[in-house]
């Protein structure tokens, strides 16, 4: 089975598609909206399946699944990246880990100290993280490589 990095580096999406006519911030919102919905749906399903026994474990499983999904969709549909996959995915996962830890900390505070509902707390946290995420990804993770002519 071919490596994911090899497959992702070979994807050649045409910019003539409707989604590529939108500005990056709108594509980010559309794809990010989809990714956020998918992530929340995974979290919701895991809460039901695991009966909300350990929400931090549920958050970890959700993080792993949704980060892979998010990287693939953002690389292809938002940034249309042609950069090398390995350094890009390392930066993406590093950023995702920071957001995961932030999410886990905030979820613990809201659920344990403010007695808020787990699902509502996760929805609030997710919405807040989205704003910061765009600018960091644009200026750090998916930064276009400058090609200089010799």
- 7-46: pLDDT as tens digits: 555 544 444 455 556 777 788 888 988 988 898 898 888 8
State how many domains the chain has: 1
Residue 7 in any domain: the answer is no
- 47-104: pLDDT as tens digits: 888 876 677 888 888 888 988 899 999 888 888 888 888 889 899 999 999 988 998 8
How many CB atoms sit inside 10 A of residue 66's CB?
Answer: 21
Calculate Rg over the CA atoms of the chain.
17
Residue 17 in any domain: the answer is no
Distance of CA 33 to the CA centre of its chain: 10
Residue 74 to residue 135: CA distance in whole angstroms = 13
Supply the range of the domain harboring residue 98: 22-141
Per-residue confidence (pLDDT) for residue 18, from 0 to 100:
57
Residue 8 in any domain: the answer is no
């Amino acid at each position: 089975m071919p490596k994911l990095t090899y497959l992702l580096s070979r994807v050649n999406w045409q910019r003539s598609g409707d989604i590529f006519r939108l500005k990056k911030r709108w594509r980010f919102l559309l794809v990010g909206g989809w990714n956020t919905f998918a992530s929340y749906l995974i979290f919701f399903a895991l809460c039901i399946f695991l009966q909300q026994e350990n929400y931090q474990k549920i958050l970890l499983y959700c993080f792993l699944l949704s980060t892979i999904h998010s990287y693939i969709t953002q690389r292809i549909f938002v940034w249309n990246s042609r950069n090398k996959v390995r350094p890009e995915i390392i930066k993406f996962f590093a950023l995702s880990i920071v957001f995961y830890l932030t999410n886990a900390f905030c979820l613990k505070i809201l659920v344990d100290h403010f007695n808020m509902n787990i699902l509502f707390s996760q929805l609030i946290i997710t919405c807040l993280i989205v704003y910061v995420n765009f600018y960091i990804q644009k200026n750090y993770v998916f930064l276009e490589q400058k090609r200089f002519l010799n």
